[in-house]
Amino acid sequence: MPHFMFQGNYTHAALQKMLAKPEDRSVPAGKLAKSLGGKLREFYLSFGEFDVVAIAELPDEEAAATFSLTVSGAGHITNLRTARLLTASEAMKAMGRAGGGNYKGPKGK
């Protein structure tokens, strides 16, 4: 089953609510993934560009889009990004297929 990474930022209002009453947001995220036929694999609060990073195993891109739209629509996450992740095995297959191609870069002057 494909894996997807979701990265986003909490709104100021969401942070204020969680500071006033801490809440494990992996629980609703896990329930959402399960309702879409998948499983939440990892859920992190993170430093840097994004406040939260989640990795979910979902059946397909449609389920990933549904996950992303549902979370975004709730209004507590902004700047949500979704990326399809490849396992090492999938990446090796892609590299093997790419290595046999005849695609050439620009020739220039």
Residue 105 binned pLDDT confidence (cut-offs 50, 70, 90): confident
Q: Taking residues 9-28, what's their average pLDDT?
A: 96
pLDDT at residue 89, as a whole number: 94
Number of H helices, E strands in the chain: 4, 4
Residue 99, pLDDT > 80, answer no
pLDDT at residue 106, as a whole number: 87
Q: Taking residues 84-103, what's their average pLDDT?
A: 88
Domain range list for the chain: 3-99
pLDDT at residue 98, as a whole number: 87
Percent of the chain's residues with pLDDT above 70: 99
Q: Taking residues 94-103, what's their average pLDDT?
A: 82
Q: Which of 7, 18, 20, 3 is nearest to 47 (CA)?
A: 7
Kindly give the interhelix angle for 61-74 and 26-35, rounded to the nearest 10 degrees. 140
> 42 near 30, Cβ under 8 Å?
no
CATH architecture of 3-99: 2-Layer Sandwich (3.30)
